[in-house]
Amino acid sequence: MGTPVSKLLKDNEAWLRKKCEGCADIKFRPMKLGAREKVDCLAVYIEVTVSNLMLEESMLGRMIQQFEGMSRKEFIQCLENDGMGISDAFPYGTMEEGMRAMLAGNLILLVDGYDKVIKVGSKGYPARSVSSAESEKVLRGSQEGFCESVKLNTALVRKRIRSADLKVEELFIGERSDTVTAILYIEELVYPQILEELHRRLDRFRIDGVLDSGILEQLAEEDQISPFPQFQTTERPDLTAMELLEGKVAVISDNSPAALLLPTTLNDFMRVSEDRYNRFEIASFQRIIRYVAMILAMMISGTYLAVIGFHTSILPTNLLLSFAEARKGVPFPSILEILFMELAFELIRESGVRMPGPLSGTIGIVGGLIIGDAAVSANLVSPMAVVVVAVSALSSFAIPNEECAAAFRLIKYGFILLGGIFGMLGIAVGCYLVLGHLSGLVSFGIPYLMPFTAKGMEAYRGGKDGIVRGPFRMMKYRPVFARRNQRLRLKERKKS
């Protein structure tokens, strides 16, 4: 229970001024409205969230003009009967609710003799407009990307799913930040147990502030030690809408341009939105390339060390002699040269990300050429080591999701140590550990390796959207995320 709004304006003003003491950006604007008996009113707002025209020409200005011709009794009666005729005006019964609305970027109006705080929508905080998704480039499909406003982001999803079945729940998370977090789902498709589990995980912690969806992701994930992401992140509203239609849930946080999608599987990180827009042959070919890139990014460096260090007999003689000639004069063992080059490429990648836009591409190209050529010329590394590390780096870039790619880049160092010390036995042990870990991961009750495991549940998926995507007309069933009685999503109309 909060502090009820008093009918005495001076009491409400005193409460607000005490709460906002020392906040120079919060403005109090007293005014008198009405025809003969002037009624004392107070408008409170954050100065950058209310434009200058707000008080003269917009809906608040029109409301003030409407009240100018009313008596005090008519004025109060109009407020009590909600007769303002303004769509984005809402009365609150407690001061805390009014304060929250004001801090969210709205203007609040208090009237002497009226025991409600009136929220009037305004332009809100400064925000970046809708732009293209920088981290998820596609050749076909919408180029719109999420921005930092939760309202705009939910509107972009609503634009694509124009149905009342799309539900939007709003939560306020953070003791001090009071961040608006929206949970989106299609009521007929989603399992209620998934929503209950999501609410339980979000309510489990109390935190000062949530400044990005990444904080929510870390708080709500089940396995905190795993390097693999347990939420799918995306900046694309079309992909979000696509996953909602498959029975998933989306979490959108204010101040974050990325949505969290759940439940998720490893296969989801290998798909992009244009896989649905292209024909199944090219979509399947591209997806196979991504899976091959995933394996190369994780294992090529370690396998190279295992082969040249322990299993040279499997190489053709000419290739073996070529490797030996390339390594002539290199003073370091193979494992050290691979580690040196891998760390050098990670340094180039990180510096390219942190540099300003026009310079980032230059840093990557020039840095890679200079370091690789100089290291080979100085006999610090062999040319083959540069090739192997370059293939590993390119493969990690081919993985669509950056968080998933980062997990494989991290695991790569474990394979380098295992392959360099134990040979192919170490590579086999590494594969066993990774597959065992992935097999044990569960995202909100869904196995992480779906649709490659849990064949009993696979029957509901239809087996048409794994490594190979089937023709669109054959993808008649929703995946396992949706309710069983809502699995059918495509059927042909009978000819009359």
pLDDT in tens, 212-242: 898 999 989 888 889 999 999 999 999 999 9
Q: Is residue 494 part of a domain?
A: no
Q: Which of residues 235, 264, 293 is at a domain's end?
A: 264
Give the pLDDT mean for 165-170.
92
Give the pLDDT mean for 125-140.
77
Nearest to 418 by CA among 312, 330, 335, 294: 335
29, 42 Cβ separation under 8 angstroms: yes
Q: Round to whole Å and give the CA distance between 381 and 331.
A: 8
- Per DSSP, the three-state class of 83 is coil
Q: Is residue 491 part of a domain?
A: no
Separation in Å, CA 276 to CA 271, 287, 371, 424: 9, 12, 40, 39
User: Which residue intervals of 179-265 are DSSP H helices?
Assistant: 192-203, 213-220, 237-244
Q: Is residue 461 part of a domain?
A: no
Q: Is residue 342 part of a domain?
A: yes
Identify the burial level of 321 via C-beta atoms within 10 angstroms of its C-beta, where 0-12 means exposed, 13-18 middle and 19 or more buried. exposed
Query: How many CB atoms are located within 10 Å of the residue 339 CB?
Result: 20
Q: Which of residues 446, 468, 488 is at a domain's end?
A: 446
CA angle 77, 81, 82 (to 5 degrees): 115
| Confidence at residue 418, expressed as pLDDT on a 0 to 100 scale | 95
Give the pLDDT mean for 455-483.
73
411, 298 Cβ separation under 8 angstroms: yes
Does residue 263 have a cis peptide bond before it, meaning omega lies within 30 degrees of 0? yes
Give the pLDDT mean for 195-213.
90
pLDDT tens-digit map of 242-292: 999 999 999 999 989 999 999 999 989 998 888 888 888 998 999 999 999
Phi-psi region of 458 (alpha: psi -120 to 50; beta: other; left: phi over 0): alpha
| Confidence at residue 53, expressed as pLDDT on a 0 to 100 scale | 44
Q: Round to whole Å and give the CA distance between 133 and 234.
A: 9
| pLDDT of 84 above 60 | no
Same domain, 220 and 282: no
Retrieve residue 24's tokens. Answer: 């120079």
| Confidence at residue 427, expressed as pLDDT on a 0 to 100 scale | 94
Q: Is residue 480 part of a domain?
A: no
119, 94 Cβ separation under 8 angstroms: no
Same domain, 114 and 135: no
Q: Round to whole Å and give the CA distance between 286 and 270.
A: 10
| pLDDT of 199 above 80 | yes
**What pairing do the DSSP bridges indicate for beta strands 107-111 and 117-120?**
antiparallel
pLDDT tens-digit map of 49-75: 776 544 555 555 656 666 666 666 766
End-to-end CA distance of the chain: 61
| Confidence at residue 91, expressed as pLDDT on a 0 to 100 scale | 84
What is the residue whose two structure tokens read 């499909």?
A: 141
Q: Is residue 414 part of a domain?
A: yes
| Per-residue confidence band for 459, with pLDDT thresholds at 50, 70 and 90 | very low
| Confidence at residue 429, expressed as pLDDT on a 0 to 100 scale | 95
Same domain, 174 and 107: no
| Confidence at residue 71, expressed as pLDDT on a 0 to 100 scale | 67
| Confidence at residue 69, expressed as pLDDT on a 0 to 100 scale | 60
pTM for this structure? 0.84
Higher pLDDT, 330 or 262: 262
Number of domains in the chain: 3
Residues in Cβ contact with 208 at an 8 Å cutoff, skipping those fewer than 6 apart:
174, 175, 176, 177
Same domain, 101 and 215: no
Same domain, 34 and 89: yes
The pLDDT mean for the chain works out to 83
Retrieve residue 79's tokens. Answer: 């407020």
| Per-residue confidence band for 88, with pLDDT thresholds at 50, 70 and 90 | low
| pLDDT of 35 above 80 | no
% of the chain surpassing 90 pLDDT: 28
Same domain, 305 and 230: no
Q: Is residue 16 part of a domain?
A: yes
- Per DSSP, the three-state class of 316 is coil
Nearest to 233 by CA among 145, 174, 163: 145
Give the pLDDT mean for 468-473.
84
| pLDDT of 166 above 70 | yes
Same domain, 140 and 68: no
Give the start-end residues of each E strand in 147-225: 166-173, 179-186
Same domain, 156 and 251: yes
Q: Is residue 39 part of a domain?
A: yes
Same domain, 220 and 293: no
- Per DSSP, the three-state class of 307 is helix
Q: Which of residues 229, 264, 299 is at a domain's end?
A: 264
Structural domain boundaries, residue 367: 277-446
Same domain, 373 and 258: no
CA angle 240, 244, 250 (to 5 degrees): 65
Q: Round to whole Å and give the CA distance between 217 and 232.
A: 9
Q: Looking at this protein, which amino acid is placed at residue 70?
A: M
What is the residue whose two structure tokens read 């293209």?
A: 132
Rounded to the nearest angstrom, the gap between the alpha carbon of residue 59 and the centroid of all alpha carbons in its chain is: 35
* Range ranked top by mean pLDDT from 137-146, 340-349, 428-437: 428-437
DSSP one-letter code for 484: G
Torsion of CA 280, 458, 449, 427, to 10 degrees: -90
pLDDT tens-digit map of 349-371: 887 777 766 666 656 666 666 77
179, 254 Cβ separation under 8 angstroms: yes
| Confidence at residue 39, expressed as pLDDT on a 0 to 100 scale | 80
Same domain, 293 and 408: yes
Higher pLDDT, 202 or 357: 202
Same domain, 391 and 335: yes
